[in-house]
Amino acid sequence: MVSTSLGGTSQLNLSGKFISTPSQKATISIKAKVKEVIKDSRFTLEHRINKCGSVVRGWRNYHRFCDMSQHNLWSLRYWLWKFIRKQGRYNRYQTNKVIKRALPAVSWSACKFVIVKGDKSPYDGDFVYWSKRENAHYDGITARLLKKQNHKCTECNISFMSGDIAELHHIDGNHNNWKPINLEVLHRECHQHQTVHGQVRVRTAG
């Protein structure tokens, strides 16, 4: 089963999951757009390289939940490398660096969702289960702190639920102090009302 919409193609694989990939039309379009931008001699080469980066980053962000393993734009990268090198401004080593600005990498993940358990409902009162699902969107130190806090805000002691925004809080107000003892995760509303944040805003305004 294959369906195409909004610049992507979705196909049902053997595991029963839909895998989405950028459509052929979308891939051809982004290649043509990048070539159009880099050839626009009205702007400096540096400006054109940065603009290509914005275009490609936007395209890759749009498809970040697709399977991008076969859409790394390798042929475009090769063409772009030769074009930039031909301009005579950069040597081969410098070209290797600026090509990363023209074609910035964006992380992607396909079918990372977890199916809801058959007997679960948002109205069943199992706050721990639903909080864990919601907090799976976070990673790194925020994810570790959420697990340590049992997926609850340390200020109001209420679980993080769907739609809640979890923010990392530096207890002493020093954003350079990343010691675990100085960090906690709060609801955005709770975070904005921390005394130390109010004091910082007053000092800045004064």
Instruction: Tell me the pLDDT tens digit for each residue of 114-145.
Output: 566 667 666 666 666 666 666 666 667 888 88
Measured CA distances, 140 to 105, 143, 147 (Å)? 19, 6, 11
**Same domain? 68 vs 153:** no
One domain for residues 87 and 140: no
* 9 three-class SS: strand
Q: Residues 136, 95: one domain?
A: no
| 78 is a domain residue | yes
**How many structural domains compose the chain?**
2
Tell whether pTM > 0.85. no
Task: Residue 162: give the domain boundaries.
Answer: 127-205
Indicate whether 46 belongs to any domain. Answer: yes
Shared domain for 10 and 43, answered yes or no, is yes
122 located within any domain: no
Residues 96, 134 within the same domain: no
Structural domain contains residue 148: yes
Letter for the amino acid at 63? H
Q: CA torsion angle for 38, 39, 41, 47 (degrees, to 10)?
A: 0
Give the tokens for residue 11: 């196909």
**One domain for residues 39 and 96:** yes
Cite the DSSP H helix spans in the chain: 24-38, 45-62, 74-86, 92-102, 127-135, 140-148, 188-192, 195-205
DSSP-derived secondary structure for 164-187: --EEEEETTS-TT---GGGEEEEE
Q: Mark whether 17 and 92 lie in a shared domain.
A: yes
Contact 161, 201 (CB under 8 A): no
In a domain, 71, yes or no: yes
pLDDT tens track of the chain, all 206 residues? 445 555 666 665 655 567 788 888 899 999 999 999 999 999 999 999 999 999 999 999 888 888 888 888 999 999 999 999 999 999 999 999 999 999 999 888 876 655 666 676 666 666 666 666 666 666 678 888 888 888 889 999 988 877 788 888 988 888 888 888 999 999 988 988 887 655 544 444 33
Q: How far apart are the first and last CA of the chain?
A: 63
- 96 within domain boundaries: yes
- Amino acid at site 172: D
**Whether the Cβ atoms of residue 77 and residue 104 lie closer than 8 Å to each other:** no
Answer for the pair 48, 40: CB distance below 8 angstroms, yes or no: yes
18-22 sheet: strands from edge to edge: 2-5, 8-12, 18-22
Residues 97, 137 share a domain: no
Mark whether 17 and 95 lie in a shared domain. yes
Whether residue 131 sits in one domain with residue 48: no
- Same domain for 7 and 67? yes
Q: Kindly state whether residues 90 and 8 are assigned to the same domain.
A: yes
Gap between the Cα atoms of 131 and 149, Å rounded: 11
**CA dist 40 → 9, 34, 35, 46, 204 (Å):** 31, 10, 9, 12, 43
